[in-house]
Structure 1
Amino acid sequence: MKYILASASPRRKELLAQAGFAFDIIPADIEETISGGTPPEIVMNLARQKALHVCRTLSEDTCTVIGADTIVVYKDEILGKPSGRGEALDMLSLLSDRTHQVYTGVSLVTGSARTPAVHTFYEVTDVTFYPISRHDMQDYIATGDPFDKAGAYGIQGPFAIHVKCIKGDYNNVVGLPIARLYHELDRSAFHGH
């Protein structure tokens, strides 16, 4: 089975490669609009949109497209990618010394664009930060790292020093619950790894 990752995320690419998947990358060029619903519904819907969008561009029907979307949630507030320094600071201030959730939706689409088989699921991980000084937040924002990341932080980079505790799948916070993905592929009609 051939796999296609519908994401330009270097972190998702790295996780799939580490797991031994052979895959191509075709980023889903869609406008990501977060619409109503619960966090699981939102991430699964966005992941499904991405995977279906890429599937429709393909001429072959012997591959599985993997779409994924990650959001950070604190007390029902969804934190996407920050639009600038001020918003990044607001997000990090909100998350400092608190526990939040990271949701990643994954959608597997296989078959032809006309009659695709779609299997979508999500994973959630609790992340707790230590108290973070304003100085540390500003230093981190100055690196530019927060701007392409939901919640304005990346767990696998310099920000790791502020992570107190994780309950759940670490890779889910990075952007792809790779173990769950492998087992979902194994259990479904998408098997072929």
Structure 2
Amino acid sequence: MAGAGPATGWAPAVPGAGAGWVPAASAGWAASRSVPGWGVPPPAGAPRAASSSWKWALGGGAAVFLGSLLPFVTYTDLYGYTVVPGARLISAVFGAILAGLALGAGLASRTQVFYGLVLPAGLLGALGYGTFILLGLTGVHNDEESAFGASRTVTVHFDPNIGVTCCLAGCIVTAGAAIVGLRSSSLRSG
């Protein structure tokens, strides 16, 4: 290793510096080109990298939209019940709104406003879908009238299917991405 130098790409060993590989400046390496977070801090006035949390929020909104197109629930007790198309349409519109707000957070200069709207929407969506799932697992009482005019109460149980689970996961991801986005935007501005 005594003959190593710029021709081989290996820097000569510095006396008393200990063993280890140091990239040679002639090979195109410089301290300013080192990978951020790998020991060399960025300069004090350098702009921070943009947060990618809006992409996660956009994916969460897309998951809510796509979940509305998938099967919502599976009935275990009675057949003939379905989730009304209006509820699935509302879920699709809600997913599109979440995705639009996330896209606005990614493209706008004032991201805190959009993340401030995405966070409560994601939390309320997760609360709504989670409540819907729990009601189905515990049973919902439904009053029915028979063909002879007699009224009876039937408990309807249903199991969550891939659609409502996807909607719940999308809302959770969207709310988490909004929290990360709000934190990173406050760090950039502060």
Structure with the bigger percentage of helix:
2
Larger gyration radius, structure 1 or structure 2: 2
TM (normalized to structure 1)?
Answer: 0.22
Query: Of the two structures, which has the highest relative contact order with CA contacts closer than 8 Å and spacing of 6 or more?
Result: 2
Greater fraction of residues in strand: 1
